[in-house]
Amino acid sequence: MPHTDPSTLMIHGVPEQIMPGALHPQWVEAARAKGFELVARVRNRYNLALRCKTCGELVRKAVYVLMTSDRPLCAHCLENAWAKTAEAAGLRLLRRDPGTTQYAFYLAPCGHEIRRQFEFVRRIARGEVKHRCEICHAAREAAEAAARDWELMSADPEGDRGYRLYRHSSCGTEARIARANMQTGRFTCPGCGESWATAPSHLYAMRFEIAPGKSVVKLGYSRDPRSRLDHQLPRDKDLPRQLLCSVPVRSGTRALRLERKLHKQLKAAHPGAVVPTAAYAGALKVKSEIYRPEFEQPILRALRRVAREEVRAAKGTATDPRPRRPPHHPPRRKRQR
């Protein structure tokens, strides 16, 4: 809407009433010396309308500020500078925070609106810190938790930055859990006791092409074979790989027991089947349980046998039909994955 009222001046979107009275020569001189041109008295007897010589825009300044400040600031020039800094930081300045002079709202590259301190944006622009959108970040953390059947509730009520408050979707228990543990799944629900050991798991076989034309097979167990295949095992995210088989097993402890038995049987039946660690250490983040490609079929046959047994066991008794261990069995070290 064009500004038509001759008794006011539009300054920064606000119509300011022009006041009668002389424009004293010392004001004219001070304005000139400090980069402005005196235009009018506005609002009341204490305020002046000045035109910035740098950007040509009008600003309102108290007479007192004009006369005592060495360098009165132009709000437009200041905002232009903030907008430039924001651009250098990969953000777009949307508007100042009316509640505080230190903050403004910005549009992040992800499309979210974020509130940041000017100084912080300057530090991003200088490359001292990285921009992080808390909305996107919270979504990532929520997805991590959801993948393990937990719900992200809030930051840690006790204020530890490494912890969050989560809620177990299946039992409703809320608990403080370290985010790192949520990522790996290495924790136990204090409400229902579900953990890697009791939660459903899988035995799996995967093929990795560690060099062109050179494959190996990994046999293992995991709650989440897909995540193991994609994130935990390969050193390079582009390493050619394939999940060959995944057999659901009722608990982590049972999966671990079955996996150990399979390794033992395979090594006994095929003494040369295991690949030395040095051959794949550059490609995979594991140290053992890697087999030569010609043992892919025996491994898959063994897994299919386990799958049939698991189905049979699930249809049979409700209790765990595991046989008693012989008394001389060596103690087992717990592994968590």
Residue numbers at the binding site for Zn ion (CB under 5 A): 52, 54-55, 74, 76-77, 110, 112, 133, 135-136, 168, 171, 173, 189, 191-192
Q: Under DSSP, is residue 259 helix (H, G, I), strand (E, B) or coil?
A: helix
Side-chain-facing half-sphere of 20: CA atoms under 13 Å: 0
First-last CA distance in the chain: 65
Which CB sits closer to Zn ion, 61 or 263? 61
Q: Rounded to the nearest whole angstrom, what is the least distance from the CB of residue 134 to Zn ion in the complex?
A: 8
Which CB sits closer to Zn ion, 135 or 180? 135
All residues at 6 or more sequence positions from 311 whose CB lies less than 8 Å from its CB, including other chains: none
Side-chain-facing half-sphere of 31: CA atoms under 13 Å: 25
Q: Rounded to the nearest whole angstrom, what is the least distance from the CB of residue 11 to Zn ion in the complex?
A: 12
Which of 270, 267, 289 lies closest to 204 in space, CA to CA? 289
Which CB sits closer to Zn ion, 162 or 172? 172
Which CB sits closer to Zn ion, 55 or 273? 55
* Three-state SS sequence of 110-179: CCCEEEEEHHHHHHHHCCCCCCCCHHHHHHHHHHHHHHCCEEEEEECCCCCCCEEEEEECCCCCEEEEEH
Q: Rounded to the nearest whole angstrom, what is the least distance from the CB of residue 188 to Zn ion in the complex?
A: 9
Q: Rounded to the nearest whole angstrom, what is the least distance from the CB of residue 84 to Zn ion in the complex?
A: 13
Q: Rounded to the nearest whole angstrom, what is the least distance from the CB of residue 73 to Zn ion in the complex?
A: 9
Q: Rounded to the nearest whole angstrom, what is the least distance from the CB of residue 34 to Zn ion in the complex?
A: 12
Which CB sits closer to Zn ion, 76 or 122? 76
Q: Rounded to the nearest whole angstrom, what is the least distance from the CB of residue 304 to Zn ion in the complex?
A: 33
State the Cα–Cα distance between residues 207 and 283, nearest whole angstrom.
12
Which CB sits closer to Zn ion, 136 or 273? 136
Which of 127, 256, 137, 284 lies closest to 199 in space, CA to CA? 256
Which CB sits closer to Zn ion, 104 or 205? 104
Q: Copy the structure tokens of residue 186.
A: 């290495």
State the Cα–Cα distance between residues 314 and 167, nearest whole angstrom.
29
